[in-house]
Amino acid sequence: MHIGVISDTHMLISSIERLEKEIKGVDVLIHLGDNVDDIAAIKKYYKGEIINVKGNCDFSASVPSDRFLEIAGKKIFLTHGHRYGVKENLSGLRYKALETGADIVLYGHTHIAKIDFEEGIWYINPGSASLPRDGDKSYAIISISKGTIEPNVIRF
């Protein structure tokens, strides 16, 4: 199972179009908010399942702020991150991960790609696919095979 994770696309169509080549072959695409309206543009070239949450720049009442799901036997918590203070530290996310039994926590908001592994839980921020604060634009691919989680940040 290959999961593509993007965040903080912020309606920059040129960046979204560049993602077309980058996310081919993923089984599921997750968008972590800012801007969920970009999903309409993404659907023009990605025909698989797209799962999303809203960020601090999204105002859709029909899109949740957080989601909890299971993919390939792994429990995954999705959030944009702004409600958990991720610009300061990950303590709010750690509490939520432990509370929900998550194996993986996916978050955005900081526009900085980061992968942490603590107490058996992966914390993955794909960075920004449009407006990075740490160099090149980025996204994440998470491979799950035989119970093993292998996350990678890809810069483009």
Predicted TM-score of the model (pTM):
0.95
- Read off the pLDDT of residues 12-41 as tens digits, 9 standing for 90 and up: 888 888 888 888 899 999 999 999 999 999
Cα-based torsion angle of the residue sequence 111, 117, 120, 121 in order, rounded to the nearest 10 degrees:
0
pLDDT digits (tens, 9 = 90+) for 60-104: 999 999 999 999 999 999 999 999 999 999 999 999 999 999 999
3-state SS, 63-101, equals CCCEEEEEECCEEEEEECCHHHCCCCCCHHHHHHHHHHC
Domains in the chain, ordered, with CATH? 2-155 (3.60.21.10)
